[in-house]
Amino acid sequence: MSKIQPSSLLPSLFAQFDEEHRLNVLHVGPALPETVEFFSRYRCKLYFDDLFSELSRLQTDAEAPLTLEQQFRALLQLDSGATLDLCLFWDLFNFMDRAATQAFLVAIRPHLHSGTLAHGFAVHNLKTPQSGQLYGIREADQVSLRARSADLPGYCPHNQGQLEQLLDCFRFRRSVLLPGSRLEMLLEASIRDD
């Protein structure tokens, strides 16, 4: 059963797109029914990549057959040449250390353009425990929350200042402090279209 959390940032995110504009959307996490239903209002291609279930399998040692960047490219199910209009990262960056975050960004960067927007959650205080939530969208101003069956391994949260340095291909457009010392973030790509 899902709970609803109001969002003051999602409406400004979706205000950028009309229902006739074709969107390419990356949703990091499982495909929840309410999210699929919400996006059925738009002309879009949805990429659901549940990276959370794969993070513990990523190999970072020198003996790994693939680099972290190559592993992320293999995990992301993006069409060749696809450019993303919207990325829903949710709390992904709370579960990736600096090296994994940088490798993920290198893998996703070719799919970003100057108009790409992103949404996610972070922590205000690094001692904040993990939320244990799966995220989806109920309405343009409502995030749906479902409890995960178990806490995820590898919790290593970053606050806004750390993320501003780590997420070098995005800039913070706005952030909102939420209960429980969590942050909701609205990001925009800071890259040039060639």
pLDDT single digits (tens) 137-166: 999 999 999 999 999 989 999 999 999 999
Contact 9, 184 (CB under 8 A): yes
| Structural domain count of the chain | 1
Residue numbers of the domain that contains 115: 3-189
Report phi then psi at 33, rounded to 5: -55, -40
pLDDT band at residue 71, thresholds of 50, 70 and 90?
Answer: very high
Tokens matching residue 160 = 């806004």
Residue 53 or residue 121, greater confidence: 121
Q: Measuring CA to CA, how many Å separate 52 from each of 56, 91, 113, 190?
A: 8, 9, 24, 25
- What CATH number is associated with residue 143? 3.40.50.150
CA distance 123 to 185: 10
pLDDT one-digit tens code per residue, 56-66: 888 776 677 88
**Pairing of β 142-147 and β 23-28:** unpaired
For the question of whether the overall pTM of this predicted structure is more than 0.85, the answer is yes
Tokens matching residue 166 = 């780590």
Residue 135 belongs to a domain: yes
CA distance 185 to 117: 11
